[in-house]
Amino acid sequence: MGRTNPTYRDFLDSYEREFGDYRRGLRRRYQSDFDSLFDGAREFADAAGYANHLDRDVLVLLSMLLAHEGTIREQREEIEELREAVAVLQEQVESADGEVA
């Protein structure tokens, strides 16, 4: 194993190192965003490793996108919950207003 190509997890590490200069040129607040992009890619190293005949650069980008998609889904769910909570609160406020009136 790993004779033909480095494993995907090893590849990802070296790929990130290749962007070392790019990261260095970033403002600090973007450096942590940059890091979380690669954290996102790492989250799916298992699936990317399994699909190892695909273009690895594309796998990295797709994994980053998928991490984003996941974050968007979580935020959407959170927004939904918050909306429901706000709606309940609004109802309470309105009924309280009604009572006062």
Partner 1 sequence: MVVAVDVEDDEVRLWSRVPAGAEPRDVPGTTTERFSETVVVQRDRDYAPTCYVAGPDDALADLRAALESDPKVVDLAWDRKILNLRDDPSRVLAVSLERPSEIATFAREVRTLHEPENWRPGTVRLYDVDLSPKFRYCLERGVDPTPEGEEGGPHWPRSLSLSLPTERLAAGDLTALTCEGRAAPRAAERRTGEARERLSPDGDGETSILRALADRLDSVDPDVLVLSSADLVPLIHERADELGVECDLGRLPGHRVLAGENSYESYGRVGHSPARYDVPGRAIVDRSNSFFWREGKLPGLFDLVDRSWKPLQEASWASIGTVFTAMQIREARDRDVVVPWRAWEGESFKRMGTLHDADRGGFTFEPDVGFHEDVVEVDFASLYPRIMIENDLSPETVQCECHDTDDVPVLGYSVCPDIEEPFVPSVLDRIVGDRYGFKADLRATDDPGRAARLESKISALKWILVTCFGYQGYRNSKFGRIEVHESINAHARELLLDAKEYLEAAGWRVVHGIVDSLWVTAAVDDPTPIADVCARISETKGIPLEHESDFEWVCFVPTSDGERGSLTSYFGRREDGSFKYRGIEARQRSTPAFVAEVQRDLVEALDEHREPAPVCDRLARAIARVQSGNVDPDDLVVRTSASKALADYDQRTRTVAALERYEANGVARNPGQDVRYVVVDDGRRDRDRVRLPWEDCADYDADFYETLLVRAAESVVSPLGWDRERIRRYLDDGRNLTLGAFR
User: What residue has token string 């429901």?
Assistant: 84
17 or 83: whose CB is closer to partner 1? 17
* 56 is a contact residue toward partner 1 (CB under 8 A): no
d(CA 27, CA 2): 37
Stretch that binds partner 1, among 24-32, 45-53, 71-79, 80-88 (CB under 8 A): 45-53
3 or 29: whose CB is closer to partner 1? 3
Specify the 3-state DSSP secondary structure of 50. helix
* 20 is a contact residue toward partner 1 (CB under 8 A): no
Tell me the HSE value of 100 on the side-chain side, using a 13 A CA sphere.
6
